[in-house]
Amino acid sequence: ILRGVPFVARHTRAPRIAMDQPVKLAIVMKVLGRTGSRGQVTQVRVKFLDDQNRLIMRNVKGPVREGDILALMESEREARRLR
């Protein structure tokens, strides 16, 4: 047992993000809709600022609108389509 460390801190794991990869900037081209069990996630189509012909779909938590710029820690994963 770790003394002085809260229970939650001992049993949660930080997300694994490669620190050597730079953050990718992407601009929101279109808001596609809400998803998640309570509608807390917005599905958007983004275009990368460094590669103008690459479009992917991402899920965004929090307020977002067309024209916003997202800083993506991971840029290879694409969200599944809404049903």
Q: What pLDDT is recorded for position 78?
A: 87
7-23 tens-digit pLDDT: 544 445 555 555 667 88
Phi first, then psi: what are they for 64, rounded to 5°? -150, 145
Q: Which of 52, 48, 53 is nearest to 74 (CA)?
A: 48
- State pTM to two decimals: 0.71
What is the predicted pLDDT for the residue at 10? 45
Hey, what amino acid is at 68?
D
With H, G, I as helix, E, B as strand and everything else as coil, classify residue 10: helix
Nearest-angstrom CA–CA distance, 49 and 66: 14
Instruction: Write the pLDDT tens digit of every residue in 37-76.
Output: 888 999 999 999 998 899 999 999 999 999 999 999 988 8
